Chains A and B, each alone.
Chain A
């Protein structure tokens, strides 16, 4: 029940906002922040009470919902979803604080934000495919409104593109969900959409698995977004208001990778292994392509948007390494990207609020007028590159380690993405912050104010925390990932004589412990 409460608290807050008296925007903002803060603080309780030694679902709650179809309201959380849940409540709070400057239709904006939060939280706790789809589609509407009403000049186009693009993918997923429901009903006689039950009992031929895989793949790949399904992302990001971008990058993209971990890997492991080379290649193309395109962007926000394509390519690559390092790295990188890229969007938003432009060549020498801003930007930019001691490094390192055991060439190509990341971020940083302060409009820019510091400080704390002491985070993933790997391990599907040619094997617990210890040693 606690999970349900946490999930629907923002929605309840949104409904309450609708009844607040007119004309007093600050009360509306304060209520919204209050609700989001309460949700975040309470969700921390989940993390404290979470038992990291088991892969089983925790805080489970289940009650029949549409029992004619065997659909139940079944929620729960495991190591894979826990931190995404907390990240969502955290970023909701941050983005609501960051939208303090919204002037137009404040009440409707905050209602959309809170409703969006409920939709996203629901995705991460659903243990029923129907329920999952329910939330998955539900959160499209508030996001559509946030982009479309409060976005930039091209907002209508971007909002519709975002909506239709995502809807096409998810509708095919709906077909796959019904198909799985029918398959399970035929095989076991139990008509149910329960994810746990289906994961244990679904047993189909490789051909069917492949089709199901493709249907889920499309839905999640569009969300991640993987190359070549990423074209909605730059439009949506550039047009969305700052908070919209933060949520989009910080949480929504994670729903895609989460979907892979919850559906494709455990339910269709054989197809996953079949498609592994294709996905790896697409991810690597995404990593390099995203980085190269970022390099030539003139618009700061577009640059960050394309860098997301690159970073999410890393996450996908890590997931499809099918070993402990890779998946743990991917999960950690999920969080890292949520923190770093969201922070980058916040920073870009701050400068946009001041100058109403995001063109890189409008700036230059900002570090002289806005020293605090420059320092924050520096830290976040470096974390995004993956400098040791910061969060990006740990995640990327684990992913590369994982993928190296599968294929050395892939690892080498992916590593080049890290180098390109350094190029585009540092070059951008140089052009914006250093060089000569020559544009007169920049002479008198005010530095970050208190409210902006409040949104930025927690991000920076997280950057260093994950970078220096990632153990608490890795520990939460541990048991769930180990369990997941026993399902999807390539060895399960490989003819026995080929075994010695491959290195990707189940990695034991103590191996990981040694690695993390090594990492910490290096960082300290």
Chain B
């Protein structure tokens, strides 16, 4: 890597931020289009999807990788390209499943789609930045959009409550994050991750305790954003209160983006002091898995169950961060991709199973579904078993990947704890299956099926099975 001179004009490389530019233009375009679109927002949705598609294509604008630009604060490498693909994919799915949902639940705001696009911009910046300030920018763009999206169901009490909770706690977390960055700047006199890494390596840190304090605060800040224990309190309420498509969106995209930044800050920048933050992350990871699982066991609401389950999954993904290196990063990539398929699968089925005025979120309401609507139930079963990590589904390969990476780094006990947690988690996934197949129906089912939701479910099922049985192409892609 060659260091470019400070403020040299050629460091402003618009091609490298092509995805950000394209998506911003589309997001603003959607906002303006909303003025003319009238009551039917379907047009906006399709424009947004085209925007996301263009973004995904423009991610490949840079030919020579890795490309640094903007004074080394922005990077285009395989890692970020893969993440951009995950983001655009998950955002597109969110938009697809929200078309019908918004009609059904009477969410008429056209800015819904534009907010999702802006949020995706934030994610892309977050995953591609190598500067603390840029990371902060990315997180803020993403978070503010999410606060609004959570509360977009304006005449819905739970939705409002969730938005407020999320906003207050999120703002709090941002404070921690910013404080941590400041301390790090104090210790190393730069906010650039590449320079920080070099300074730490050369032993040029002015104050070791300052740096470590900064790291602790960063862990707390990121911990909030990815919902790891003990900073997870907001997740169940927010997941439950937010509109279902937004919940799915939240569980995948923003989380993946935060993990990308976490990986860049910890595994890439601070390997020199890894013994310090490893202990922290190991503790957090173990707590996250256990508390997520224990919380999930007691839930009767499917969205809360998924919230706790996603907390548990954060615990697994943290193991990938701990594994560092290419194996760790590719495990992280693979996991987030499979997680996107599984989560969107589950949430789309949840949306299908609800209807106007009755979202049907209690697990008991799924009783006897299995033999009334065998295909949908089978899909749900596939997603749940994949989340539980059973072969031949994608969740298993993803877990195998992470465990493999962690064992190569010698985290034997952590992996043993993780597999035991996998076993615990099977219990509550099976519980949902028990209701669907082994209980008598308590009421009539009325599915809200539409070609679009069916398409998303089919896509997710194919993804989960394909990545479970023939993961080779994606694995070799992730390993680059």
Residues of A within 8 A of B (CB): 65-69, 105, 108, 130, 133-135, 137-138, 140-141, 144-145, 148-149, 155-156, 159-160, 163-164, 167-168, 171-172, 174-175, 178-179, 181-182
User: Which residues from chain B contact A168 at a C-beta distance below 8 Å?
Assistant: 420, 423
| B385 contacts partner chain A, Cβ-Cβ < 8 Å | yes
- Name B472's closest neighbour in chain A (CB-CB): A66
On whether A160 and B415 interact (CB within 8 A), knowing A133-B391, A148-B437, the answer reads: no
Return the contact of B371 from the options A105, A163, A164 (Cβ within 8 A).
A105
Query: Is the CB–CB distance between A66 and B423 below 8 Å?
Result: no
Closest chain B CB from A132 CB (angstroms): 10
User: Which residues from chain A contact B385 at a C-beta distance below 8 Å?
Assistant: 141
Query: Is the CB–CB distance between A156 and B434 below 8 Å?
Result: yes
Closest chain A CB from B392 CB (angstroms): 6
Query: Is the CB–CB distance between A175 and B371 below 8 Å?
Result: no
Q: In the complex, given contacts A167-B422, A179-B407, what are 18 additional A-B residue pairs having Cβ atoms less than 8 angstroms apart?
A: A69-B404, A69-B475, A105-B371, A108-B371, A133-B391, A149-B437, A159-B434, A160-B431, A164-B423, A167-B426, A168-B420, A171-B423, A174-B400, A174-B403, A175-B419, A178-B407, A182-B404, A182-B407
User: Which residues from chain B contact A159 at a C-beta distance below 8 Å?
Assistant: 434, 438
Question: How distant is the Cα of A366 from the Cα of B415 in the complex, in angstroms?
Answer: 56
Return the contact of B420 from the options A145, A160, A171 (Cβ within 8 A).
A171
On whether A141 and B390 interact (CB within 8 A), knowing A105-B371, A149-B438, A164-B427, the answer reads: yes
On whether A137 and B396 interact (CB within 8 A), knowing A69-B475, A160-B430, the answer reads: yes
* A/B interface sample: 11 pairs, CB < 8 A: A66-B471, A133-B391, A149-B370, A156-B434, A160-B427, A163-B430, A171-B420, A175-B412, A178-B407, A182-B404, A182-B407
Enumerate B419-443 residues with CB–CB distance to A below 8 Å.
419-420, 422-423, 426-427, 430-431, 434, 437-438
Question: How distant is the Cα of A510 from the Cα of B80 in the complex, in angstroms?
Answer: 67
On whether A175 and B407 interact (CB within 8 A), knowing A66-B475, A156-B438, the answer reads: yes
User: Which residues from chain A contact B471 at a C-beta distance below 8 Å?
Assistant: 66
The 7 A-B pairs with the shortest beta carbon distances in the complex, nearest first, are A171-B419, A134-B391, A168-B423, A68-B475, A148-B438, A167-B423, A66-B472
Query: Is the CB–CB distance between B407 and A137 below 8 Å?
Result: no
| B450 contacts partner chain A, Cβ-Cβ < 8 Å | no
- Name B404's closest neighbour in chain A (CB-CB): A178
- Name A65's closest neighbour in chain B (CB-CB): B472
On whether A134 and B426 interact (CB within 8 A), knowing A68-B479, A69-B475, A181-B404, the answer reads: no
| B66 contacts partner chain A, Cβ-Cβ < 8 Å | no
User: Which residues from chain B contact A149 at a C-beta distance below 8 Å?
Assistant: 370, 437-438
User: Which residues from chain A contact B403 at a C-beta distance below 8 Å?
Assistant: 174-175, 178
Question: How distant is the Cα of A67 from the Cα of B422 in the complex, in angstroms?
Answer: 26
User: Which residues from chain A contact B412 at a C-beta distance below 8 Å?
Assistant: 175, 179
| B416 contacts partner chain A, Cβ-Cβ < 8 Å | yes
Question: How distant is the Cα of A396 from the Cα of B305 in the complex, in angstroms?
Answer: 51
On whether A138 and B391 interact (CB within 8 A), knowing A168-B420, A174-B403, A175-B419, the answer reads: yes
Enumerate B344-367 residues with CB–CB distance to A below 8 Å.
none
Question: How distant is the Cα of A232 from the Cα of B113 in the complex, in angstroms?
Answer: 51
As a 0/1 sequence over residues 365 to 389 of chain B, the CB contacts with chain A under 8 angstroms (1 = contact) are: 0000011001000000000010000
Closest chain A CB from B371 CB (angstroms): 6
Query: Is the CB–CB distance between B472 and A137 below 8 Å?
Result: no
Question: How distant is the Cα of A52 from the Cα of B108 in the complex, in angstroms?
Answer: 74
Question: How distant is the Cα of A67 from the Cα of B396 in the complex, in angstroms?
Answer: 17
Q: Which of B370, B392, B400, B431 has the most CB of A within 10 A?
A: B400
- Say which size band chain B's interface belongs to: 20 to 34
Closest chain B CB from A322 CB (angstroms): 29
- Name A130's closest neighbour in chain B (CB-CB): B400
Enumerate B215-269 residues with CB–CB distance to A below 8 Å.
none
Enumerate B427-480 residues with CB–CB distance to A below 8 Å.
427, 430-431, 434, 437-438, 471-472, 475-476, 479
Closest chain A CB from B279 CB (angstroms): 22
Query: Is the CB–CB distance between A140 and B416 below 8 Å?
Result: no
| B408 contacts partner chain A, Cβ-Cβ < 8 Å | yes
Query: Is the CB–CB distance between A175 and B434 below 8 Å?
Result: no
Question: How distant is the Cα of A383 from the Cα of B437 in the complex, in angstroms?
Answer: 39
User: Which residues from chain B contact A69 at a C-beta distance below 8 Å?
Assistant: 404, 475
User: Which residues from chain A contact B416 at a C-beta distance below 8 Å?
Assistant: 172, 175
User: Which residues from chain A contact B400 at a C-beta distance below 8 Å?
Assistant: 130, 174, 178
Question: How distant is the Cα of A113 from the Cα of B150 in the complex, in angstroms?
Answer: 45
- Name A181's closest neighbour in chain B (CB-CB): B404
Closest chain A CB from B415 CB (angstroms): 6
User: Which residues from chain B contact A181 at a C-beta distance below 8 Å?
Assistant: 404
Return the contact of A140 from the options B390, B415, B419, B437 (Cβ within 8 A).
B390
Closest chain B CB from A291 CB (angstroms): 31
User: Which residues from chain B contact A174 at a C-beta distance below 8 Å?
Assistant: 400, 403, 419
Question: How distant is the Cα of A179 from the Cα of B407 in the complex, in angstroms?
Answer: 7
Return the contact of B374 from the options A65, A108, A145 (Cβ within 8 A).
A108
Query: Is the CB–CB distance between B408 and A182 below 8 Å?
Result: yes
Question: How distant is the Cα of A174 from the Cα of B422 in the complex, in angstroms?
Answer: 12
User: Which residues from chain A contact B404 at a C-beta distance below 8 Å?
Assistant: 69, 178, 181-182
User: Which residues from chain B contact A182 at a C-beta distance below 8 Å?
Assistant: 404, 407-408
User: Which residues from chain B contact A65 at a C-beta distance below 8 Å?
Assistant: 472
User: Which residues from chain A contact B374 at a C-beta distance below 8 Å?
Assistant: 108
Question: How distant is the Cα of A105 from the Cα of B430 in the complex, in angstroms?
Answer: 20
User: Which residues from chain B contact A171 at a C-beta distance below 8 Å?
Assistant: 419-420, 422-423
Closest chain A CB from B173 CB (angstroms): 33
Question: How distant is the Cα of A135 from the Cα of B471 in the complex, in angstroms?
Answer: 16
Question: How distant is the Cα of A68 from the Cα of B408 in the complex, in angstroms?
Answer: 15
User: Which residues from chain A contact B419 at a C-beta distance below 8 Å?
Assistant: 171-172, 174-175
Enumerate B13-56 residues with CB–CB distance to A below 8 Å.
none
Question: How distant is the Cα of A155 from the Cα of B440 in the complex, in angstroms?
Answer: 14
Question: How distant is the Cα of A167 from the Cα of B429 in the complex, in angstroms?
Answer: 13
Closest chain A CB from B364 CB (angstroms): 14
Query: Is the CB–CB distance between A137 and B475 below 8 Å?
Result: no
Closest chain A CB from B35 CB (angstroms): 49
User: Which residues from chain A contact B371 at a C-beta distance below 8 Å?
Assistant: 105, 108
Closest chain B CB from A273 CB (angstroms): 24
Closest chain A CB from B387 CB (angstroms): 14
Question: How distant is the Cα of A182 from the Cα of B408 in the complex, in angstroms?
Answer: 7
Query: Is the CB–CB distance between A138 and B423 below 8 Å?
Result: no
Closest chain B CB from A381 CB (angstroms): 34
Closest chain A CB from B63 CB (angstroms): 25
Question: How distant is the Cα of A172 from the Cα of B419 in the complex, in angstroms?
Answer: 7
Question: How distant is the Cα of A135 from the Cα of B438 in the complex, in angstroms?
Answer: 24
On whether A137 and B390 interact (CB within 8 A), knowing A108-B374, A164-B423, A171-B422, the answer reads: yes
Question: How distant is the Cα of A159 from the Cα of B426 in the complex, in angstroms?
Answer: 12
Enumerate B330-350 residues with CB–CB distance to A below 8 Å.
none
Question: How distant is the Cα of A140 from the Cα of B429 in the complex, in angstroms?
Answer: 14
Query: Is the CB–CB distance between A160 and B407 below 8 Å?
Result: no
Question: How distant is the Cα of A138 from the Cα of B465 in the complex, in angstroms?
Answer: 13
Query: Is the CB–CB distance between A67 and B430 below 8 Å?
Result: no
Closest chain B CB from A196 CB (angstroms): 21
Question: How distant is the Cα of A13 from the Cα of B479 in the complex, in angstroms?
Answer: 37
